[in-house]
Structure 1
């Protein structure tokens, strides 16, 4: 399926979401000479580390290192409030995303799923749907959602509608690159058996790979493909 993508935007509510969900697929796209841009939508730290600008800069620095390792382009971060996207008017998020998607002329957008337990992920999904809706001149042809360790699995357990992937990308050749890039996120990485540990991430990729008869995979839900 990756062959039909040309210019890809990966949207992440927080720093590290993009690696957890798409970190094995990114280098595959880069190897195919596709353009891969990553947008981190929130400041990533204002709620967890109130009024600590050093942490904010550290996290974005980690994001730069992680994406550089994979070959993706990290766009300037937006300053929407971390863990409080529900306090921002829906239309303001729509406008911000719509502007980036339109000006970037992306044909493929990948975002977090609305089944996640994290409310920022839900909010971002809803605004992405609006920004990618069909209208004359819309460049987006494919919209997919991705799985985020420590958020999607809890959504599956606690919410009515689970994440049901219908696209599996074989990342057996890039799993080590994914893990190395995640190592750059020192502020986000946890120790095993946390799902955001390196072993937890490997186990997750192995689980989804085994579902479709391969060693390691990243799961996606295809929302539409035109």
Structure 2
């Protein structure tokens, strides 16, 4: 399926979401000669670390270092408020995303899944649906949502509609790239058995890989492919 993608945008509500969800797939796309850009939609820390500009900057230095390992480019951040996307008018998020997606002429977009328990992830998914809706002249041909450790698994337990992946990408050859990239997020990485620990990320990739007969995999829900 990766052969169908040419110019890819990975949308992340927060710094590290892109690695948690797509960190093994990104380097495969890059090695195939594809362009992969990453958009971090919020400021990443204004609610968790109120009035701490230093941590905010640290997170984006970490994002660049992590994505440098994978070969993806981090776009200028959108700076919407962290953990408060539900306080921003839906139309304002739609417009901001639409400008970036159409301006970049992306044919493929990845975004967090709607089943997540993180409200920012839900809001971003809904706005991405609007920005990527098929219409005459729409460049986006493939839209997929991804799984985020420490958020999606709780949605599976607590929501009526769990994450139900329909696409699995074998990342057996790139799992170490994903883990090295995540290790750059020192402000986000946690000790095992936290789901954002290196060992838990490996276990998660192994679980999804074993579902489809590979050593490691990343799961996605295919919203549409034209």
Report the TM-score when normalising by structure 2: 1.00
Helix, strand or coil at the partner of 2:220: strand
Structure 2 partner of 1:138: 138
Q: Which runs of 5+ in 2 are unaligned?
A: none
Residue by residue over 1:169-192, the C-alpha shift from the partner in whole angstroms, topping out at 9 and shown as x without a partner, is 000000001000000000000000
| Distance (Å, rounded) in 2 between the aligned partners of 1:213 and 1:42 | 36
Residue by residue over 1:116-152, the C-alpha shift from the partner in whole angstroms, topping out at 9 and shown as x without a partner, is 0000000000000000001111000000000000000
Helix, strand or coil at the partner of 2:14: coil
Residue by residue over 1:30-68, the C-alpha shift from the partner in whole angstroms, topping out at 9 and shown as x without a partner, is 000000000000000000000110000000000000001
Structure 2 partner of 1:214: 214
Does 2:143 match 1:119? Answer: no
Structure 1 partner of 2:58: 58
Equivalences for 1:16-165 in 2 at 5 Å? 16-165=16-165
Residue by residue over 1:50-105, the C-alpha shift from the partner in whole angstroms, topping out at 9 and shown as x without a partner, is 01100000000000000011000100011100000000000000000000000000
Structure 2 partner of 1:224: 224
| Distance (Å, rounded) in 1 between the aligned partners of 2:104 and 2:130 | 16
| Distance (Å, rounded) in 1 between the aligned partners of 2:59 and 2:202 | 22
| Distance (Å, rounded) in 1 between the aligned partners of 2:2 and 2:205 | 18
Structure 2 partner of 1:193: 193
Helix, strand or coil at the partner of 1:215: coil
Alpha-carbon shift at residue 113 of structure 1 (Å): 0.4
| Distance (Å, rounded) in 1 between the aligned partners of 2:102 and 2:195 | 35
Helix, strand or coil at the partner of 2:59: helix
| Distance (Å, rounded) in 2 between the aligned partners of 1:101 and 1:70 | 21
Helix, strand or coil at the partner of 2:202: helix
Report the TM-score when normalising by structure 1: 1.00
Question: What is the number of equivalent residue pairs in this alignment?
Answer: 226
| Distance (Å, rounded) in 1 between the aligned partners of 2:209 and 2:16 | 21
Structure 1 partner of 2:166: 166
Structure 2 partner of 1:10: 10
